[in-house]
Structure formats: structure tokens, C-alpha cells
Amino acid sequence: MTNELDIFVGNTTLIDEDVYRLWLDGYSVSDAVGLRVRSGILEQTGATAGVLQSDTMDHYRTFHMLERLLHTPPKLLHQLVFQIPPSRQALLIERYYAFDEAFVREVLGKKLSKGTKKDLDDISTKTGVTLKSCRRQFDNFKRVFKVVEEMRGSLAGNIQQHFLLSDRLARDYAAVVFFANNRFETGKKKLQYLTFGDLAFCAELMIQNWTPGAVDSQVDDMDVDLDKEFLQDLKELKVLVADKDLLDLHKSLVCTALRGKLSVFPEMEANFKNLSRGLVNIASKLTHTKDVRDLFVDLVEKFIEPCRSDRWPLNDVRLFLNQYSASVHSLDGFRHQALWDRYMVTLRSCLLRMYHD
């Protein structure tokens, strides 16, 4: 009588998602083991503490070896050392490049340099994100920035192609790169209420409408820099507030259209000229680097805070901005309609996103 024994041999690299998360979060092996013990894994599996320690160390060694490949994700797909199914490869990449909102909010708009990296200790303490995780996230931002900053084509598309990220994550990284390149101020106290999502939303609109790529898809770094010619042309909008007749007519058109429709109509009518000067003057000053950096500060100070002070509900802000933008097309003496639309389409949507009533 012969005994038959079936043997299966495989070399698929096993990835424990929970341990990967602990490694990404910057926990040491001993801390990770402690957290796994507290999760009840020993009772669930019947394993011993020694086995759990060995298992955790084994996973950490694997992740450390994979990390150099994760720095250039296409290499992970084409290497033959680790047999990892495509779905698992995608998970490894996506989670490696994922970031904490609390962390990105602290570095958004800052130069991705050694100077900022020195501040990571303080950022870690403030946000509760481990220093090791802060360093990984910062290095990811810097790595992506260096690869795509001078590339031709769509910023988000280039990031997606070279780092194999999901569409949503690639667009978030595009916002980080765009903010870092243009150095927008986001750290002031009056801007702290804005989430990364709010600012990324505005970045995406500016990339679509205010960069060279908005008018020419073949220019270098088309989505990274603001269109200098467009910013120069914005000075032409100054006539909307410098010409008293145009300003009075603009106000009359808006007030006629909104009478009886706004709960804050008296406040809007009294403050129209100040609000209009604020929005137009922001446009006319964007040729100066400092004014570009202070764009979000100016939007809050010149529009959002005055409206909040008069307790405008969000719907009234929406009705006003829609009518304010559209009424310019009825001003016979104004000849920069396309320029106005390119500016206000973005500004209107940003202000509505930023206005938290």
C-alpha cells in the first residue's frame, strides 16, 4: 500500500494589510506587535507571542525591501523578485502614497525643501502623525514634484502615469505640486478653517483655467505655473471699478436682478462697490509674486469676511456671485468679456467652496 502526499509550492509574497498600515504609520516592530496583541489577534489565531513577533518582523523586512521599488512604482510592476498579484501591487502603491489630511494641511504651499523638512518634528507633535510617517509623506510629495514639475501635458495625468496612482489621489498630488510651486499662503490663522479638500478644489480649477495649459496643451510645465500673459491681462479688468459709470451701471444691473431675492439685499446694495473693488483689485494685482501667494488671504479678507460679518447665507452668496459675473456681459463699454469669464468662473466656484456660513 502506497501513501500519496500532495505538495503545493508557491512563492507569492504575502501582504498583511493591517501590518502594512502599522509600518506606514511609522510604528516600530515592538510597538506594532503590542498593537496587534491588543487587537486580539492571539486569541483569534491561537498563535503565540513569539510567532506574532516573528511574523511582524518578517513583514517589516519585506516592506523595507519593497520600499525602494515603491519610490518608482513602475519598477514594482516589472520586477521578478516579489510575486505579488496586480491588485495587491495597486494596494501597496496607493497606500504608500496616501497621506494624512492633518499633515498635508501643514505643509501645503510651503517649499518642499530641507528647511521645511526640519519642521517635521513640530508638525508631528502638532498633528499626532508619527515623525517617520511625516517624513515618508513629505518625501513622497518632494519625489512627485521633482518628477513632474517640468513635464509637458496634464499634471494629474503625468502623476498618474509615472506613479500609478488612482485618479483621485493623482489629482490630490497635482494640487500639492501646484501649491508648492506657486507658494500660496495657507497657514495664516484666518485660513485654518479651510480643509485640504477646499484648497485642492480651488487648485484644480486654477489648473484648468489659469495655467498655460488652459489655452495650449503643448507647452512645458503647462499645469504647474500660472499663465503670466493671463495675469498681465487681468489688469484690464480694473476699468470695472475705476470707471464710475461702469461701476454704477454694474451695481444697478445686479441690484435690479436680485431685488426681492436676497435676504441680505440692503447689505449687498450698501456694500456692492466695496465687494466689487475687492474682487477686481485681487485680479489686477496678480502680476506680483507676493499677491499671488496671498490670493487666499485676500479672498477671505476682501469678500468672505465682509459677507460673514453681514451674515450672508451661502445661497445669497451664490445668487450674488452668479448675477455679479453674468451682468458684466450687459455692460456695453466693457470689452474684456472672455478674460472676465476666465477669471470669474474659477473665482466664483472657489469662493462658494471657501464660504462656510
49 pLDDT more than 70: yes
Confidence of residue 114 (pLDDT cuts 50, 70, 90): confident
Least confident interval from 24-38, 132-146, 212-226, 313-327 = 212-226
Domain termination residue (choose one: 144, 179, 214): 214
Average pLDDT over residues 276-280: 97
Angle at 237 (CA atoms; ends 233, 241), nearest 5 degrees: 155
8 pLDDT more than 50: no
Confidence of residue 221 (pLDDT cuts 50, 70, 90): low
Q: Are residues 57 and 116 in the same domain?
A: no
1 pLDDT more than 70: no
Confidence of residue 220 (pLDDT cuts 50, 70, 90): low
User: In terms of Cα–Cα distance, which of 196, 204, 200 is closest to 103?
Assistant: 196
Per residue in 153-195, pLDDT tens? Answer: 899 999 999 999 999 999 999 999 999 999 999 999 999 999 9
Average pLDDT over residues 15-27: 95
pLDDT confidence of residue 47: 83
Average pLDDT over residues 86-95: 96
Write down the mean pLDDT value for the chain.
93
Domain with 113 in it:
101-214
- Alpha-carbon dihedral 134, 140, 146, 147, rounded to 10 degrees: 180
Q: Is residue 9 part of a domain?
A: no
326 vs 213 pLDDT, higher one: 326
Q: Are residues 154 and 254 in the same domain?
A: no
Q: Are residues 106 and 201 in the same domain?
A: yes
Q: Is residue 93 part of a domain?
A: no
* The one-letter amino acid at 136: R
Domain termination residue (choose one: 26, 53, 81): 81
Q: Is residue 295 part of a domain?
A: yes
Domain termination residue (choose one: 214, 236, 268): 214
Q: Are residues 254 and 164 in the same domain?
A: no
Per residue in 184-205, pLDDT tens? Answer: 999 999 999 999 999 999 999 9
Rounded CA separation 29/14 (Å): 18
Q: Are residues 189 and 236 in the same domain?
A: no
pLDDT confidence of residue 12: 78
Confidence of residue 117 (pLDDT cuts 50, 70, 90): confident
11 pLDDT more than 80: no
pLDDT confidence of residue 4: 61
Q: Is residue 94 part of a domain?
A: no
Q: Is residue 299 part of a domain?
A: yes
Q: Are residues 232 and 347 in the same domain?
A: yes
Q: Is residue 294 part of a domain?
A: yes
Report the domain count for the chain. 3
Q: How many CB atoms lie within 10 A of CB 189?
A: 6
Q: Are residues 71 and 165 in the same domain?
A: no
Q: Are residues 234 and 342 in the same domain?
A: yes
Q: Is residue 119 part of a domain?
A: yes
242 vs 117 pLDDT, higher one: 242
Q: Are residues 181 and 237 in the same domain?
A: no
Q: What is the DSSP string of 87-108?
A: HHHHHHHHHHH---HHHHHHHT
* The one-letter amino acid at 143: R
- Contacts for 230 with CB less than 8 Å, ≥ 6 apart: 210, 214, 215, 339, 342
Q: Are residues 76 and 105 in the same domain?
A: no
Q: Are residues 156 and 132 in the same domain?
A: yes
7 vs 36 pLDDT, higher one: 36
* DSSP-assigned beta bridge partners for residue 285: none
Cβ–Cβ < 8 Å for 182, 203:
no
Task: Provide, rounded to the nearest whole percent, the portion of the chain with pLDDT above 90.
Answer: 85
Q: Are residues 242 and 313 in the same domain?
A: yes
pLDDT confidence of residue 9: 45
User: In terms of Cα–Cα distance, which of 323, 324, 315, 302 is closest to 264?
Assistant: 315
Q: Is residue 91 part of a domain?
A: no
Per residue in 63-82, pLDDT tens? Answer: 999 999 999 999 999 998 99
| DSSP three-state, residue 83 | strand
C-alpha cell at 91: 494596494
